[in-house]
C-alpha cells in the first residue's frame, strides 16, 4: 500500500474505559474479524487477560478500511495495556505510531491513567483524537467529561471530540473517518537503507523470537541477512508478515508499515525491545535511540506447592521468554525448599504471573510476601544489593542501607483530597506538588517504594470510593533506617518469613506479625512458640496453641486397652510431627501482606 494510505495508531485509555471493546469494534467494522468472533475480544488472548479484563502485553493488528469514496486504507492498530504496572509497555507501543485515540469513559471521566498516557503521547508528538465512550449508559456525564478533556488540552473542545458507544457501535464509523482525516500518514523514505524499530516481541518455541517491528525507512523482506544494530547480531529472518488478527505472511513490509519478523533467534534476551533492525549489507547509518530496559521493582519468592520443582522451573523459564520484564534466579529456602526469587514490575504483575502459572501450566505456587531491593554498604566498605530479606546482613556489620523511592502522581476528585492526603502521610509520603485539572486534583508525592508496592493502590481506591488513580515512577535510592525482622518457630529461624522494615515501625509490626502467625500457622500437637526477633532481641512472642487436648488423659473413663491404643497413636503422631517441619501454607504469607 502507498504510504499516503497508511495510518498507524494506538488506543490509550484508563483501565476499563473500553479500549479492547473499541478495538474489537474496529476489527469488526473493517471486517478483519467476523461479527460472530468479535465479542470474544480477540486482542486479549492470554487467559489472565480475559479473567481480569485487562490487557497485559501489547498487540498489533492490521485492518483494511474502505472509506466513503471507495479508497482503501491500511489501519495498523496497536493495542496498549491499561494498568499502572505496565506503563512501560505503553511507551514502547506509542513509539511505533503517528497517532492515538484517547478514549475516556463518560461515566468515570478523565482518570490518572488517561492523563499519564496522554502525556506520553504528547511527548512523542502524536496526533491525539479525543473520544468519549459509553455514552449509552445512563450514568454517562458528557458535559462534565468534555470539560475535563478541555482542561487537559484546550484543543480538545466539543467540536473535536467524538462521542461513541464501543459496545453498541454508535459513533464508531466517525472514529474510522477521523483516523484517516486527522492522523498523518507515515513519512519514511522507501528507498533509504532499511531501518526498523523493534517495539515488542513474543517467543515461540518452534520459531524463536518473533519481533514486532515498525519499518521507518526502506524495505524489509527475506532477500538479505538482517542485523540487530545494538546487539550487533546477524541473522536470516524466516518470515515477515502482519497480524490480521492472526499471523499473515507477506513478501515485504515497506516504510511506514507495522508487522512482525520471525527471527529464528532462540535467545529472547538477544532481541531487545528498542533495537534497530537493518540490513547486514547496506545498513542504516545510525541506530535508533532505544529504550531503557524495564526494571523489576518488587521481588518475591515463588515455590512449588506440591514439591514439583522441575515443573515450576520449566514454567518459569518459559514465562521469562514471553515476558522479559519478569526476572528470576534460583533460590533455596530452609522452610520451603527449592524455588525462585523473582522480580516484577509491581504487585499486580506478581499476581498476573501467579495466575499465568496456574492457568497456562496448571501450577499452584506459594508466593512469599513481596519486598523491594536494598542497597547495603557494610562497615568494611563492601556493597551488597539485597533482593531477599534473608540475605540482609547481621546488624553489627551494616554501615548504611538505602531503599528505592518513587514519585507518585495521584489523581483524585477534590472532595477526596483529604482522605488521600491522610493516606499519603500514613505511608510516609512527602508532598511534592498539588495541582488542579478541573475538579480533579493531582497530588504528587515521594514515597519509599516499599510503602506503595503492595496495598497502596487498593487502599487508595477504597478511600476515594474508586475514583482516585495512581501512577508511579522510580526516583532514586535513599538511605533509610531499616532493620530486619526474623521469625523463629520453636526457636529455629524460618527464613521465608524474614522481612525488612523501618525501625520506627518494628514494634508495631512485630506485634501484629506474631498475632497473624498465631491465627494462621497450622497447629501442631504441642504448643509452638513463635518469636519476632529484631537485632537479636525478641520484640514479640506468642505460643501457637496445640492442635487438641490430650484425649487419652482427659477423656471419659475408657477401658485400659482403649486408652493404651490412643496413647500409642498419639505418641506416633508426636514423633511424626517432630520429624517433619511445620509446613507454611499460603495463608501465612497472605496474612503477612496485611501488616
Ligand atoms: P483494559 O484492557 O483492562 O485496559 O480494559 P479496556 O479499556 O480494554 O476495557 P474493556 O474494553 O475490557 O471494557 C471494560 C468494560 O466496559 C467491559 O465490561 C465492556 O463491556 C464495557 N464497555 C466498553 N465499552 C462500553 C460502552 O460503550 N458501553 C457500555 N455500556 N459498556 C462498555
Domains of the chain by start residue, with CATH: 3-182 (3.40.50.300), 195-279 (2.40.30.10), 298-367 (3.30.70.870), 374-479 (3.30.70.240), 505-593 (no CATH)
Say whether the ipTM exceeds 0.90: yes
The whole-number pLDDT of residue 261 equals 93
Q: Whose CA is nearest to atom 5 of ligand 1?
A: 16
What whole-number distance in Å separates Cα of residue 381 and Cα of residue 396? Answer: 14
Are 352 and 346 in contact, with CB atoms under 8 Å apart? no
Tell me the pTM.
Answer: 0.70
Q: What is the pLDDT, as a whole number, of residue 322?
A: 67
Amino acid 586: pLDDT: 78
3-state percent helix, strand, coil for the chain, nearest multiple of 5: 30, 35, 35
Q: What backbone phi and psi angles, to 5 degrees, belong to 588?
A: -65, -45
Q: Which residue puts its alpha carbon closest to atom 1 of ligand 1? A: 54
| Ligand 1 in reach of 7 Cβ (< 6 A) | no
4-38 tens-digit pLDDT? 999 999 999 888 899 989 998 998 899 887 654 54
For residue 161, how far is its CA from the centre of ligand 1 (angstroms)? 19
Query: For ligand 1, atom 14, which residue shows the shortest CA distance?
Result: 16
Give distance in angstroms: CA of 412 to centre of ligand 1: 21
Say what the pLDDT of residue 553 is. 57
Decide: 82 in ligand 1 pocket, CB within 6 A. Answer: yes
CB of 30 closer than 8 Å to CB of 64: yes
Q: Is 135 annotated as a binding residue?
A: yes
Distance, in Å, from the CA atom of 274 to the CA atom of 272, rounded to the nearest integer, reads 6
Task: State yes or no: 21 annotated in a binding site.
Answer: yes
- pLDDT value of residue 54: 47
* 99 Cα: distance to centroid of ligand 1 (angstroms): 21
Q: For the chain (length 595 residues), average pLDDT per consecutive 10?
A: 92 89 90 60 52 54 90 89 62 85 93 82 92 95 93 91 95 95 93 90 82 92 90 91 84 93 86 86 78 77 86 86 81 86 87 87 87 93 92 90 92 88 94 83 92 83 80 87 91 88 92 88 82 92 76 61 76 58 76 71
Distance CA 26, CA 45 (A): 17
pLDDT reported for residue 293: 64
Give the Cα separation of 200 and 96 in Å (integer).
10
Q: How many CA atoms lie within 13 A of 172 on its CB side?
A: 21
Which are the contacts of 592, defined by CB distance < 8 A and separation ≥ 6? 369, 497, 499, 513, 516
Q: What percent of the chain has pLDDT over 70?
A: 88
Amino acid at each position: 500500500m502507498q504510504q499516503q494510505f497508511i495510518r498507524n495508531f494506538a488506543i490509550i485509555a484508563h483501565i476499563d474505559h473500553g479500549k479492547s471493546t473499541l478495538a474489537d469494534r474496529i476489527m469488526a467494522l473493517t471486517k478483519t474479524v467476523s461479527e460472530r468472533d468479535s465479542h470474544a475480544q480477540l486482542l486479549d488472548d492470554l487467559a489472565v487477560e480475559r479473567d481480569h479484563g485487562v490487557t497485559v502485553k501489547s498487540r498489533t493488528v492490521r485492518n483494511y478500511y474502505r472509506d466513503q469514496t471507495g479508497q482503501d486504507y491500511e489501519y495498523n492498530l496497536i493495542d496498549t495495556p491499561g494498568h499502572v504496572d505496565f506503563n512501560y509497555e505503553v511507551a514502547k507501543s506509542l513509539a511505533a505510531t503517528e497517532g492515538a485515540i484517547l478514549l475516556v469513559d463518560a461515566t468515570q471521566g478523565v482518570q490518572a491513567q488517561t492523563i499519564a498516557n496522554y502525556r506520553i503521547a504528547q511527548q512523542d508528538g502524536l496526533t491525539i483524537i479525543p473520544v468519549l465512550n459509553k455514552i449509552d449508559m445512563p450514568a454517562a456525564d458528557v458535559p462534565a467529561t468534555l470539560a475535563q478533556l478541555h482542561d487537559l488540552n484546550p484543543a480538545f473542545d466539543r467540536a473535536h471530540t467524538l462521542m461513541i458507544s464501543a459496545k453498541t457501535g454508535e459513533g464508531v464509523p466517525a472514529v474510522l473517518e477521523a483516523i484517516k482525516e486527522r492522523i498523518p500518514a507515515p513519512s519514511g523514505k522507501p528507498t533509504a537503507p532499511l531501518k526498523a524499530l523493534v517495539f515488542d516481541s513474543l517467543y515461540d518455541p518452534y520459531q524463536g523470537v518473533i519481533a514486532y517491528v515498525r519499518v521507518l525507512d526502506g524495505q524489509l523482506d527475506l532477500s538479505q541477512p538482517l542485523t540487530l544494530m545494538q546487539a550487533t547480531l546477524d541473522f536470516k529472518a524466516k518470515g515477515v508478515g502482519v497480524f490480521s488478527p492472526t499471523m499473515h505472511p507477506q513478501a515485504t513490509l515497506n516504510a511506514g508499515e507495522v508487522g512482525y519478523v520471525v527471527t529464528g533467534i532462540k535467545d529472547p534476551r538477544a532481541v531487545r525491545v528498542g533495537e534497530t533492525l537493518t540490513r547486514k549489507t547496506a545498513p542504516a547509518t545510525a541506530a535508533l535511540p532505544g529504550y531503557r530496559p524495564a526494571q523489576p521493582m518488587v521481588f518475591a519468592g515463588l515455590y512449588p506447592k506440591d514439591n514439583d520443582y522441575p515443573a515450576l522451573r520449566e514454567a518459569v523459564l518459559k514465562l521469562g521468554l514471553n515476558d522479559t520484564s519478569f526476572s528470576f534466579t534460583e533460590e533455596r529456602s530452609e522452610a520451603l525448599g527449592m524455588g525462585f526469587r523473582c522480580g516484577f514490575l509491581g504487585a499486580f504483575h506478581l499476581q498476573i504471573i501467579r495466575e499465568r502459572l496456574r492457568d497456562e501450566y496448571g501450577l499452584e505456587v506459594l508466593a512469599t510476601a513481596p519486598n523491594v531491593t536494598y542497597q547495603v554498604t557494610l562497615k568494611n566498605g563492601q556493597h551488597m544489593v539485597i533482593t531477599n530479606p534473608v540475605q540482609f546482613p547481621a546488624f553489627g556489620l551494616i554501615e548504611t542501607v538505602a531503599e528505592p523511592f518513587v514519585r507518585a502522581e495521584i489523581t483524585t476528585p477534590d472532595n477526596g483530597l483529604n482522605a488521600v492526603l491522610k493516606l499519603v502521610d500514613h505511608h510516609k509520603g512527602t508532598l511534592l506538588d498539588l495541582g488542579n485539572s478541573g475538579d480533579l486534583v493531582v497530588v504528587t508525592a515521594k514515597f519509599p517504594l516499599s510503602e506503595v508496592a503492595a496495598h497502596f493502590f487498593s487502599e487508595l481506591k477504597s478511600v476515594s470510593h474508586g475514583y482516585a488513580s495512581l501512577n508511579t515512577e522510580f526516583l532514586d535510592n535513599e538511605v533509610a533506617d531499616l532493620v530486619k525482622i526474623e521469625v523463629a518457630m520453636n526457636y529455629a529461624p524460618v527464613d521465608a518469613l524474614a522481612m525488612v522494615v523501618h525501625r520506627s515501625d518494628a514494634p508495631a509490626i512485630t506485634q501484629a506479625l506474631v498475632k497473624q502467625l498465631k491465627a494462621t500457622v497450622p497447629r501442631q500437637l504441642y504448643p509452638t512458640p513463635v518469636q519476632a526477633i529484631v537485632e537479636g532481641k525478641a520484640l514479640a512472642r506468642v505460643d501457637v496453641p496445640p492442635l487438641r487436648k490430650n484425649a487419652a488423659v482427659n477423656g471419659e473413663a475408657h477401658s485400659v486397652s482403649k486408652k493404651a491404643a490412643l496413647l500409642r497413636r498419639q505418641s506416633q503422631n508426636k514423633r511424626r510431627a517432630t520429624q517433619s517441619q511445620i509446613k507454611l501454607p499460603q495463608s501465612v504469607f497472605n496474612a503477612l501482606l496485611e501488616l
